[in-house]
Amino acid sequence: MDLSNIARARIMEHKMAADPTYRKRVTASGRPTLSKIRQLADEELVETLSKLGLEFRREDFGRLASSFASAEELAEQMFRTHLPDLRDWGQDRLWMGLAVLWERWLPQRPSFEMIEEWMYAGRVLAGKGRDPVGACEKWLGVWSAVQQIMDSQRMGSIEEFDEKYRGTDCVIDCLQDLEAELWNAGLDDNRYWERGIEFATQYLARFVDADRLITENMRRALATFHAALGRRERTDALFRQWLQLDPSWGWGWIGWSDCYSFAREDRDPAKAERILLDGLGVTDVQDRVELLDRLVSLYMDQGREREAAEVHSQTHALQRRSDREAFRRTTPAQSTKVGRNVPCPCGSGKKYKKCCGSV
């Protein structure tokens, strides 16, 4: 796996923290670490780079970095054109020094290294639901930086970004987790649902031809944020628009129904039921088993056990009629993020993957 320099540096420092023997070996080798380089003042960093053979003034740094998306790329260019004889750990000191100066001197011009730091910090804050608001702030910074770099580097897709980024996490995974974290943060401060609407709208406008599953997830998130803020007409209009374009989108019908069955206030189980039945009325609807399962859950929540049992029997009949491959095609959500992004059935209001699904 071709990881970036900063991703490898983080992995090394984590191993050093966990393994004293490895830490002693790295220290004895004289290999620099990013945490040690960050302890140096600007003047010390400039002096370190000068000893390596790279001399420049602070006012020149923006021009030097203007064509690059990362300090690693800038260091590679400097190595090829100015420092071809750099040996030992000099190359590591070169990119680390440039990365830290970039953070300090060009904070308005995010780099891949800065994005890596923000992504990791957000992951720590999101862990076990510790601080969803803090995680959102870090990852919203990632989203802003990704857009800025994509524009400056003329990147056309998030896949192209990830290919050049080469971080410990894919940016596309971070953005999907941001959507879920914005939901959880909104449970305490609904301004984060507003920011979720802004994020999802920007994503869908920028990545028109993106991966279909991720696009569908982001559409559901956008409509669900509107529903959480009580904007039922907007919610209905969005789902109608998308389902007119693709009536077979099973999880679209489910997502629309969920807005009326999982809502904390103003639930409308009758409307949720109608939506599911409309979806099941589409001959070639995808994920029919999931639609039926959701209808079973809706009936059980209302104490309609007889009707729930009847629908449950339809699910078993459908499974018996389908061979293994056909059944696999009707349930792609079991191996994707879709199912984990639904509201947790425990009633917490959080997404399943951030609640019981994280156990």
DSSP for 135-182 reads: HHHHHHHHHHHHHHHHHHTT---HHHHHHHH--SS-HHHHHHHHHHHH
pLDDT over 60 (residue 47): yes
**Predicted confidence (pLDDT) per residue in 177-233, tens digit:** 999 999 999 999 999 999 999 999 999 999 987 789 999 999 999 999 999 999 999
d(CA 229, CA 259): 11
**Predicted confidence (pLDDT) per residue in 303-356, tens digit:** 999 999 999 888 877 777 664 444 455 455 443 444 556 666 555 556 655 565
d(CA 232, CA 227): 5
Query: Residue 254's pLDDT is what?
Result: 97
User: Which residue type, as a one-letter code, is found at position 95?
Assistant: W
DSSP state of 343: B
**Predicted confidence (pLDDT) per residue in 61-78, tens digit:** 999 999 999 999 999 999
Q: Model-level pTM?
A: 0.83
Give yes or no for a contact between 103 and 113, defined as CB atoms under 8 angstroms apart.
yes
State the residue for tokens 């957000």. 122
d(CA 128, CA 358): 7
Tokens of 1: 């796996």
Average pLDDT for residues 5-11, to the nearest whole number? 94
Q: Which of 155-159, 172-176, 272-276, 332-336 has the lowest mean pLDDT?
A: 332-336
Tokens of 217: 């997830």
d(CA 7, CA 169): 9
Query: Residue 323's pLDDT is what?
Result: 46
